[in-house]
Structure formats: C-alpha cells, structure tokens
Amino acid sequence: MQGRRKKDVDARDKRGHDGGKSDLTTSEPTLIQPNYQEVHGARPDVPKGAAPKALPPNWRIKAAVPSIAVEALAAQAYRLRMEQEVVNAAGAECERCGKAVALCVCDTIVPLDNRIEVLILQHPQEQDRALGTARLTVRHFRHAVLKVGLSWPSLTKILGRPADPQRWAILYLGSAKAAALAPDREVVMLNRKGEPERNQDALLRDIEGVVLLDGNWSQAKALWWRNAWMLKCRRVILGPPRPSRYGQLRREPRRDGLSTIEAAAMLVSRLEGRPDIEAALTASFEKMLARYRASK
Ligand SMILES: [Zn+2]
C-alpha cells in the first residue's frame, strides 16, 4: 500500500504535477482505488489536478456492476435450488447421478484421479434414467465432462480450452470387430479405412482424452454425423473379454455391447494401465444393477 502510494506520487511528480495541490488530488482517489483495481485491473488515469468529483463519469457506475452480477448469480442459485426441490418432491432423484434415490449408488464414490480425460456426449433423447450410466461414469472421475446436446462446433469449444482432436480417441461406431482385426488387443485404434493402425502402442500412448457417445445406436449415430470435428479424432474400438453386465436388462447401445460406464472403464483403464479404474467402475455398475433388479 505504502509502495503504491509512493509510486503514484512519483508518477505525478514526473508529469510535473504541482506539489502543493497533490495532497488533495492524490489522497482521495487513493482511498477508493484499491476497490476499483481489484475489480477492473487498471484504473483510469486521473486527469491532472483533478478533484475527486472530476473522475471519469463511469467510475462509480462501473464499480457497481459486480454487485449486480453477484446478486443475479445468487438469484439463479436460489432458483435452481427451488427447481431441484420440486424434482425431489416429485420423484426423489439424486442430484448427482440423476437416479431415483432407491437406485443411487453414487454417494460413496470417490472420484479417481485420471490422466486420460473422459468426455461423454449424450443425445438429448437418451432418457433412460433407471439404467443409463453417463452421469454415474462422470462421477467416478476427477477429469470428466458430460454434455447433453446434438452438435458442437469443436472439441475446443466443448472443453473450453484448446484441444487437439488428434490426441483424443473416440469410441468408434463402425462395424469393425476388434476380435477379428486384432485378437490379441482389447483396445484397437483404426485408421479412416477401418484398418488397424500400424503403430498402435505409440498412438495409444499419445492419447490424452476419450470421447464416448451416450445413447442408443441411432442416437449415437446421429451425434457422429452432426459433429464434423469427430472425424479428426482417433478411432478406437473395444474387444471386451466378456459381454455387458446389463445382460437382458437393456438392448445393447453399441456394437461392442457395453454400457457407457463399462466402455469408459475398459478404455481408460487400458490406456492408463490401471486395473483399479475398471474395478471401481464395474463395482458401482454391478451395485446399480443389483438395486435395479431388487426394485422390480
Ligand atoms: Zn446418486
């Protein structure tokens, strides 16, 4: 504080400001400058010899904006809470996983510190609240994002930071079967012709995130065709060693037959070499299915 005041005075002296008047002109603005600077960064230049009343006309108006913004945010939070309470009263749903409280298994989940980021894009009509697993999957990871929608202009826009689609792998929908292409691999990266890439290990090591499409077969296909940036992503398919734990409960959403949580578990655990990731996600999926069967 002392340093800044001294610097202000020095600057004024350099501009040839009158020493006698500076007591009056510097002391008043200095009292309110910290507030202004905290909010706006640089302060407007105080005109030479100006008394406080001659400050730029927007000085106080601008300073008032943040408090309005804060009030608006608070109002929004209040409204959201109200809406949530209405939902809870009607269907008693968990706020985190979106499931009926009787089916919720997310309360004891401790998010894993994943290196490979997870992005799940959910078709807006994917309405399976009882058996859907997208929100549960995201809850398991510290670095995971779920977006509901049909199209986004780019990966960078979705994530809100620069991202290279070449270093992201999308779980591909094509008809290729991992078992036929590379029987010894559980994750296979394909080129655009649908053939396995030659340097699998190096390319897989380079991956920093995975994209999963959540919805039934035709919903996932719609997402694929509406998002041109997905063409730039690496394509991977899975060769699961066992069928989905869904069993007969749900028609399989993808050709590899896995639920979103099983696919994410397998993909991330293989890419990171961390079996504990798959174990944790599989355990909570099985718990969810057990609750579902018990509720029927
Ligand atoms: Zn929950």
Determine the distance separating the centroid of ligand 1 and the alpha carbon of 40, expressed in angstroms. 40
Averaged pLDDT for residues 122-138: 89
Q: Convert 267-284 to b/e letters by CB count within 10 Å (16 or more is b).
A: bbbbbbebeebbebbbeb
What tokens were used for 8? 């202000």
Determine the distance separating the centroid of ligand 1 and the alpha carbon of 64, expressed in angstroms. 40
Q: Is the pLDDT of residue 50 over 70?
A: no
Count other C-beta atoms under 10 Å from residue 155's C-beta.
Answer: 23
Determine the distance separating the centroid of ligand 1 and the alpha carbon of 280, expressed in angstroms. 16
Determine the distance separating the centroid of ligand 1 and the alpha carbon of 94, expressed in angstroms. 4
Handedness of CA 252, 255, 260, 265 (dihedral sign): positive
Averaged pLDDT for residues 80-103: 68
Q: What residues flank ion ligand 1 with Cβ within 5 A?
A: 94, 96-97, 104, 106
Residues 147-160 have pLDDT tens digits of 999 999 999 999 99
Backbone angles phi, psi at 187, to 5 degrees: -125, 120
Determine the distance separating the centroid of ligand 1 and the alpha carbon of 123, expressed in angstroms. 20
Residues 178-206 have pLDDT tens digits of 888 888 899 999 999 999 999 999 999 99
167-173-178-181 Cα dihedral, nearest 10 degrees: -90
Of 102, 149, 139, nearest to 288 by C-alpha is: 102
Determine the distance separating the centroid of ligand 1 and the alpha carbon of 289, expressed in angstroms. 14
Determine the distance separating the centroid of ligand 1 and the alpha carbon of 257, expressed in angstroms. 24
Out of 24-28, 124-128, 174-178, 258-262, which region has the weakest mean confidence (pLDDT)? 24-28
Give the position of tokens 């779980």.
Answer: 171
Out of 115-129, 217-231, 239-253, which region has the weakest mean confidence (pLDDT)? 239-253
Determine the distance separating the centroid of ligand 1 and the alpha carbon of 111, expressed in angstroms. 13
Determine the distance separating the centroid of ligand 1 and the alpha carbon of 73, expressed in angstroms. 26
Give yes or no for a contact between 268 and 261, defined as CB atoms under 8 angstroms apart. no
